[in-house]
Amino acid sequence: MSGHSHDHDDPDYSVLPSDPALRVKSLETLLVNKGLVDPAALDAFIDSFQNDIGPKNGARVVAKAWCDAAYRERLLADATSAIAELGFSGIQGEHMAAVENTDDVHNMVVCTLCSCYPWPVLGIPPTWYKSFEYRSRAVVDPRGVLAEFGVELPEGTSVQVWDSTAEIRYLVIPKRPEDTESLSESQLAELVTRDSMIGTGVISPPGDSNDD
């Protein structure tokens, strides 16, 4: 193969920091400085995938589980396959488990080592999910953390904390709110929030807006 010339210097990737997050930030800075990436467009894309595109996929999974008992059973038995039925799979979603909130148990997800997160159904993890404070406190004081998110659980409801890893990631199936029997599956999906599928939020009945 013949050689080719460049009219610019290639970045020296060997000088980038070893931490993955810092490496990504450094690469982003290099691309922005070279005019190859519009930072405003990049921010808009990340915001959309974090708060809109990704969570809407998970909301469809939850709504179908609420409406279809057979699908719910498949989801609880083999979440990876059941989620793939709806077309959601890929990197960060290869090994999924679904856990269901009930009157007795409220589930909450954390990744204590880094920020493992089910991208195909929830998008990009929020900043707080990756923070050391959340990763450390969610395990030792889950009720305190939930209270800071505005979630107050009855005393009889226990909190089960699930630690995501590279081998398995979790999706919380939140409790279906009351007075939603007349809603269609698509209407129910509109009620499901990102935080409720992490376990740091609950779903309010239609007309209320207590969850992000």
Active site residues: 111, 114-116
The total number of residues written for the chain in this structure: 212
Q: Is 160 helix (H, G, I), strand (E, B) or coil?
A: strand
64 Cβ neighbours under 8 A, 6+ residues apart: 71, 86, 185
33 conformational bin, left if phi > 0, alpha if psi -120 to 50, beta if neither: alpha
Which residues sit opposite 116 in a β-bridge? none
CB contact at 8 A, 142 and 161: yes
Decide: 124 and 46 in contact? Cβ < 8 Å: yes
Cβ distance 40 to 46 under 8 Å? Answer: no
Tokens 């209320």, residue located: 208
User: Rounded CA gap, 96 and 164, in Å?
Assistant: 10
Distance (Å, whole) CA 124 – CA 114: 14
